[in-house]
Structure 1
Amino acid sequence: MDLQDQLKKLFPEHTPEETPKVEPSNVWLQDDPIICKYEKRKGKPTTIIEGYNGATEDFKILAKELKTKLSVGGSFKDDKIIIQGDYRDKIMEILKEKGFTVKRVGG
């Protein structure tokens, strides 16, 4: 007897909810690569993403998606996404999955 059967016996009237499907974001893709670089600010590592040519609202949406997927803090200032910590490899993978070309700078 697996866990699903045990739960059905304990809660017969419960119907499991469907998980919501994640829709692909409508972020404008560009020809030039996005620059992903590493810096230390006040002794702490930060990852900076810059070089996006689309609308700033799309870049803010992208920043929010990156922060939630990585579960880290960050901000959006001066057309740059600033992520706390060194997450260049993970960010580059996420952006490549979305269809962006990414250039790694520094280290």
Structure 2
Amino acid sequence: MDLSDQLKNLFPEHDFKEEEKPEKSNVWLQDEPLQCKFEKRKGKVNTVIAGYTGATADFKILAKEIKTMLGVGGSFKNDEIIIQGDYRDRIMDFLKEKGFKVKRVGG
């Protein structure tokens, strides 16, 4: 017996409604593809996503979603998302599911 069943037993006259969750983000989709690059900075491996033409706030939201999905660290600097580690394939799949065009740059 879960919590909703217990509440229904305690309050049989109450009409329970489930709330609809709004979509997390409504990010601007663009015509030009995003560039997904592999770089080494200070001896560390990084994945860099650049080329976004929308609002900076939307790009920051996208950066947070990517970092959360991968469970890794990263940052947003100079209109680029920098993700720690080589996750180009997973990031490209994620961005394609979101509706972005993605171009792989480099090896």
Give the TM-score category using the shorter length: 0.7 to 0.9
Q: How many residues align?
A: 93
Separation in structure 1 between the aligned mates of residue 22 and residue 71 of structure 2, nearest angstrom = 17
**1:14-67 CA distances to partner (integer Å, 9 max, x unpaired)?**
415x8x857252000000000000001111110000000000010000000000
Residue segments in structure 2 that go unaligned for 5+ positions in a row? 5-17
Equivalent residue of 1:81, what SS? strand
Separation in structure 2 between the aligned mates of residue 24 and residue 82 of structure 1, nearest angstrom = 21
Give the structure-2-normalised TM-score.
0.81
Give the structure-1-normalised TM-score.
0.81
Against the structure 1 CA distance between its residues 90 and 15, is the aligned structure 2 distance closer, same or farther, given a 3 Å change threshold?
same
Residue identity opposite 1:15 in structure 2: L
The ranges of structure 1 where at least 4 consecutive aligned residues each deviate by more than 6 angstroms after the TM superposition are none
1:15 and 2:3 are equivalent in the alignment: yes
Residue 50 (structure 2) aligns with: 50
Separation in structure 2 between the aligned mates of residue 22 and residue 106 of structure 1, nearest angstrom = 37
Residue identity opposite 2:55 in structure 1: A
